[in-house]
Each structure stands twice: as C-alpha cells, then as structure tokens.
C-alpha cells in the first residue's frame, strides 16, 4: 500500500492523531455533560433549599444564580467542544476518503505493474528465442565458412567438392 512513502505515512499519522483527538473530545464532552448534570442537580437542590429556608433565601438565591451562571458557561463550553468535535469528525471522514482514494490508486498501480511485468517477461522470452535462433544461424554460417576455408586450402578436398557439385548440380542450369 506504499506506506513507506512520506506523504502516505504522514496522512496515516494525521488520521491516527485525528481519531485520538476525536476520542479525547468525546471523553471531555461526556465528562462535561456529567459535570453539568451534577451542577444542574446541585442547582435544583440549592433552589429547593432556598425555597424552604426563608432566612437564608438571599444566600441561596445568590448561590443558585452562581450555579446557574456556571451551568450556562459549561453549556457554552460544551457547545464549542461539540462544534470542534464535529469539525474533527468531518476531517476524519475526509482523511478516510482520501485514504481510500490512495488505496484505489495503489491497487490500480499494482495491476498495471503486473501487466507490464507480464509483457516484459513475454518480450524477454521473444528476445531469448531470437538470440538462440541467431546463435544457431551464426554457428551454421561459421561451420560453412570453415568448411569452405578448409576446402579452398586443401586441393584434394576441392576436387572432391567439385565432384560432389557435379553429382548434386541443379538440372535447370546448363553448363
């Protein structure tokens, strides 16, 4: 899959860090929501105490207002984290799509490479066959040239060669 290439490895590492960051954001949101629920529960309890205690009503109201403000701030922070989480999810999906695209390109390249290797193998076989045929032809020519040389320098073989020629002479020529 060409993971050794710098760009592909960088994309995979970015995707991995995005997934890790995504998980951390989910855990943070879950913790914040639990904290918000706890604070909301505390706010309700404070409101009940404020209603039940007439003398300490001002202090309870102030505490309830403080808790309500904290709850509002936590909800805003949670909404911001949710937005960041959604953005990270979109980035993760985009990285996954790009990874799939690279995978498809790698598979197509591998298929093309196999076809090229098969063609190269066929060409090598054809070249080997041509080389063997050329070698046989050259060997035959060298043997004939050697025979002609032997006959030209050996008169007794030359006479035998002429007699052989007469015996095997084509009938269409008239000498």
Q: What are the domain boundaries of the chain?
A: 3-167
Contact yes or no for 81/29 (Cβ under 8 A): yes
The larger pLDDT score, comparing residue 171 to residue 53, is at 53
Residue-wise pLDDT tens digits, 145-154: 888 888 777 6
> What is the three-class DSSP state of 55?
coil
Residue-wise pLDDT tens digits, 18-41: 888 888 988 998 999 999 999 989
Residue-wise pLDDT tens digits, 118-157: 999 999 999 999 999 999 999 999 998 888 888 777 655 5
Position 175 scores a pLDDT of 47
User: Cα 16 vs. chain centroid, distance in angstroms?
Assistant: 15
Position 99 scores a pLDDT of 82
Contact yes or no for 68/47 (Cβ under 8 A): no
Contact yes or no for 22/82 (Cβ under 8 A): no
């Amino acid at each position: 899959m060409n993971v050794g290439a710098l760009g592909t490895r960088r994309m995979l590492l970015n995707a991995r860090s995005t997934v890790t960051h995504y998980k951390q954001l989910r855990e943070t949101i879950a913790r914040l929501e639990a904290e918000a629920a706890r604070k909301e529960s505390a706010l309700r309890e404070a409101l009940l105490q404020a209603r039940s205690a007439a003398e300490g009503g001002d202090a309870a109201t102030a505490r309830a207002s403080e808790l309500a403000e904290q709850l509002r701030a936590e909800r805003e922070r949670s909404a911001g984290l949710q937005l960041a989480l959604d953005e990270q999810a979109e980035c993760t999906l985009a990285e996954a799509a790009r990874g799939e695209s690279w995978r498809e390109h790698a598979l197509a390249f591998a298929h093309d490479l196999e076809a090229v290797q098969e063609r190269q193998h066929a060409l090598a076989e054809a070249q080997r066959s041509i080389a063997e045929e050329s070698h046989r032809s050259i060997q035959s020519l060298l043997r004939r040239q050697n025979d002609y040389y032997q006959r030209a320098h050996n008169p007794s073989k030359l006479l035998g060669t002429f007699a052989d020629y007469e015996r095997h002479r084509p009938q269409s020529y008239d000498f």
